[in-house]
């Protein structure tokens, strides 16, 4: 198992008594693509943030094991170094820092973790160009400041490019499709598809089914009220498309009521 989430409870750090995740369980094997869907406020972004190690959240219960490590005990950079990658819902702008310097620093941090020598400027350039070609990214991407002056679509593309460079084991896409037009979404989906491999897993968090039509996940989970209330295959995406979340939520609430 690559990732095992057990009974995960989390809340915003300074908002006690307002739990967001309320006992979430998830198992991911290498090479699998899991989609997490759910209505607004279900806890989708919280799950992404908690897995990546954002400090705004407090874990109140549960465990997360990643490749045999206690993920929750690691700092965000240690998680990234061990192969967790988060594609942001809103990629951050860093004025004055070139994408090239930023990603060279990041790639060499990961290489250091893996006991590999650092890439110099020329080697990094060559490596980065190969990824730019693979993903059909614009050639000037490296020379620009990190996400500064990028359109929404360009920012998401840049995150996918970073993902390609870092070659992570687990890629978490946090509503990467939000705010994207259909062309930008295809670029993101193509990026993900070209990075799929037997030893790389994905968690695709999304509100809409559209992105999933291009990515075709192996498993689909519906998150509601901090828990996964239903899991299934790709067919679940279409069931949701037809009936919406309401039916499923009502059925779930009915079930809970009956159990009580």
Partner 1 sequence: MSSIIPRKMSPAARQFLDKIMALSDALNERMAVKALIEKRQAAKQQLLTMGLPTRKDEDWQYTSIQSLLQQTFSLKHVQEPIELTTAQIQTFLPNFDTIRLVFVDGFFSEQLSGGFDFIPDGLSIEMADADAIQTINLSEKADAFQWMNELMLDQGVTIELDARVSVEAPLHILYIQTQTAEVLSPRLQVRLGQSSQLQLLQQYVCLTEEVTTWVNGISHITVGENAQCKQLVLQQLSQNSFYFNHQHFVQAAASHIETSYIALGALLSRHQSVATQQGDAAETDQDSIVLGRGQQVMDTRTLTQHQALHGHSRQLHKLVLADEARGVFNGMIEVAKGAQKTDGQMDTKSLLLSPKAKVDAKPQLEIYADDVKCSHGCAAGQIDEDQIFYAQARGIRRSDAMQLITQAFLLEPLDKWQTQPEMQAWLTKLIVQKL
Would you give the binding string for partner 1 spanning residues 124-163, x where CB under 8 A is met?
---------------------xx---------------x-
Rounded to a whole number of angstroms, the minimum distance from the CB of residue 245 to partner 1 is: 29
Among residues 31, 39, 76, 153, the one that binds partner 1 under rule CB under 8 A: 76
Rounded to a whole number of angstroms, the minimum distance from the CB of residue 10 to partner 1 is: 16
Rounded CA separation 40/45 (Å) = 10
CB of 86 or CB of 222, closer to partner 1: 86
Q: DSSP per residue over the chain, as a string?
A: --EEEEEEEEEETT-TT-EEEEEEEEEE-TT-EEEEE--TTSSHHHHHHHHHT-TTEEEEEEEEEETTEEGGGS-HHHHHHTTEEEE-SSPPPEEEEEHHHHHHHHHHHHHHHTTPPPP-HHHHHHHHHHHHHHHT--GGGGGSEETTT--HHHHHHHHHHHHHHH--SEEEEESTTTT--HHHHHHHHHHHHHH-BTTBEEEEEESSSHHHHHH--SEEEEEETTEEEEEE-THHHHHHHHHHHHHHHHHHHHHHHHH-
Contacting partner 1 within 164-223 (CB under 8 A): 166
Among residues 101, 119, 134, 239, the one that binds partner 1 under rule CB under 8 A: 101
Contact 16, 60 (CB under 8 A): no
Rounded CA separation 233/71 (Å) = 27
CB of 87 or CB of 236, closer to partner 1: 87
Rounded to a whole number of angstroms, the minimum distance from the CB of residue 167 to partner 1 is: 11
CB of 174 or CB of 225, closer to partner 1: 174
Among residues 65, 113, 167, 213, the one that binds partner 1 under rule CB under 8 A: 113
Among residues 70, 77, 120, 241, the one that binds partner 1 under rule CB under 8 A: 77
Task: Answer yes or no whether residue 109 interacts with partner 1 by CB under 8 A.
Answer: yes
Among residues 94, 119, 134, 239, the one that binds partner 1 under rule CB under 8 A: 94
Residues 6 or more apart in contact with residue 136 via CB below 8 angstroms: 187, 190
Region of 28-36, 105-113, 192-200, 230-238 interacting with partner 1 (CB under 8 A): 105-113
Contacting partner 1 within 37-56 (CB under 8 A): 52-55
Rounded to a whole number of angstroms, the minimum distance from the CB of residue 34 to partner 1 is: 19
Kindly list the residues in this chain that would bind partner 1 in the complex (CB under 8 A): 52-55, 75-77, 79-81, 85-86, 88, 91-97, 101-103, 105-106, 109-110, 113, 145-146, 162, 166
């Amino acid at each position: 198992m690559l990732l095992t989430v057990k009974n995960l409870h989390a809340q915003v750090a300074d908002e006690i008594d307002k739990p967001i995740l309320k006992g979430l369980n998830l198992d991911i094997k290498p090479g699998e693509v899991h989609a997490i869907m759910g209505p607004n406020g279900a806890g989708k972004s919280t799950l992404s943030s908690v897995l990546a190690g954002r400090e705004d959240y407090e874990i109140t219960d549960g465990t997360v094991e990643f490749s045999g490590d206690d993920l929750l005990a690691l700092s965000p950079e240690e998680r990234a170094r061990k192969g967790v990658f988060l594609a942001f819902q809103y990629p951050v702008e860093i004025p004055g820092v070139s994408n090239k310097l930023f990603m060279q620093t990041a790639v060499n941090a990961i290489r250091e973790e893996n006991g590999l020598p650092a890439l110099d400027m020329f080697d990094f350039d060559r490596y980065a160009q190969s990824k730019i070609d693979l993903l059909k990214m614009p050639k000037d991407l490296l020379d620009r400041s990190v996400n500064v002056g990028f359109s929404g679509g360009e920012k998401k593309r840049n995150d996918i490019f970073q993902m390609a460079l870092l070659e992570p084991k687990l890629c978490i896409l946090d509503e990467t499709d939000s705010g994207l037009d259909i062309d930008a979404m295809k670029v993101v989906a193509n990026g993900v598809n070209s990075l799929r491999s037997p030893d790389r897993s994905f968690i695709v968090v999304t509100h809409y089914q559209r992105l999933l039509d291009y990515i075709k996940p192996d498993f689909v989970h519906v998150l509601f009220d901090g828990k996964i209330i239903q899991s299934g295959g790709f067919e679940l995406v279409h069931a949701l498309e037809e009936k919406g979340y309401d039916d499923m939520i009502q059925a779930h609430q009915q079930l809970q009521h009956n159990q009580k």
